[in-house]
Amino acid sequence: MLGIVLEQSRRGASPRVRRRRTLVAATAGLLVIAGGGAVILGGLTGRATSGDTGPTTSAAPTETEPAITPAEPRPSPSASPDPAAAPTFDREAHSIDDPNSIWVVVDKLRPLNPTDYSPGDLVDVPVPFQNKPQLRQEASDAVVALFAAFTAETGLALQSQSAFRSFDAQTRVYNNDLVNLGQAGADLSTARPGTSEHQTGLTIDISAQPGECSLNACFADTPHGQWLAANAWRFGYLLRYPADKIPVTGYEFEPWHFRYIGIDLATEMHNTGVTTLEEFFGLPAAPSYG
């Protein structure tokens, strides 16, 4: 009731009403002294219900004081979409058998067909290098963007160690390892001719510039190797031979070896946590040659 009195005072009552309020306030003040909060309520109630025949003031809003619009009710959270209705990744968008496909899977059980395949759209890759690199056009464009982003984000530099290798070039590399490492050692570190990802024109070996830990497992511990492992997928590249997947890929850990698979597939593999093409496409593990 005291709140109503004060509200009316703010709106500008007539002199007679103001006199009544003065009397009410005075009475309320005396009652506070006399008996506390309960007596205040009683005194105010008695005054408000006495035989007063004077004009009363409406509590309704005036034109200069619009009514407060209630807040819109907050909508209840909608139900989560049905997972079954979510679009699924199309794993058949590209061939995994055609050597011209950016999704082609090449391993010890899946040689290129033909084994002396050579891409028809190779270009020189305009990045720093130890050995002049060539890649297919799409893969080249992507790795140029990757190198630029790395330097912009870290202030460091990368370089190419090796990219496309023809069937004949791969034969020379493998035979050299065969002499130096023996059959088992060569097969663990180097693909036999016709089964190398380098022959697809989609793979590049990357190192730091200058070449700290080049083509060595310690590259994984450098800022360069760590950035590549975390960010290559953004540009459509996959770290093809992870340390914990030797029984699947058949090759030792190569933190420098990155295979272009396109941004769509690289993003899907990153989001699902699948790290090998064999596992993603449900293919047999390829720890050794068939």
Contact 211, 222 (CB under 8 A): no
Identify the burial level of 147 via C-beta atoms within 10 angstroms of its C-beta, where 0-12 means exposed, 13-18 middle and 19 or more buried: buried
DSSP 80: P
Contact 114, 98 (CB under 8 A): no
CB under 8 Å to 113, separation ≥6 — which residues? Answer: 97, 99
Phi, psi of 147 (to 5 degrees): -60, -45
Contact 232, 225 (CB under 8 A): no
d(CA 79, CA 175): 62
Cα–Cα distance list, 244 to 12, 56, 160, 234 (Å)? 82, 86, 25, 22
Contact 28, 44 (CB under 8 A): yes
Residue among 258, 205, 271, 253 at smallest CA distance from 232: 258
Residue positions annotated with a catalytic role: 254
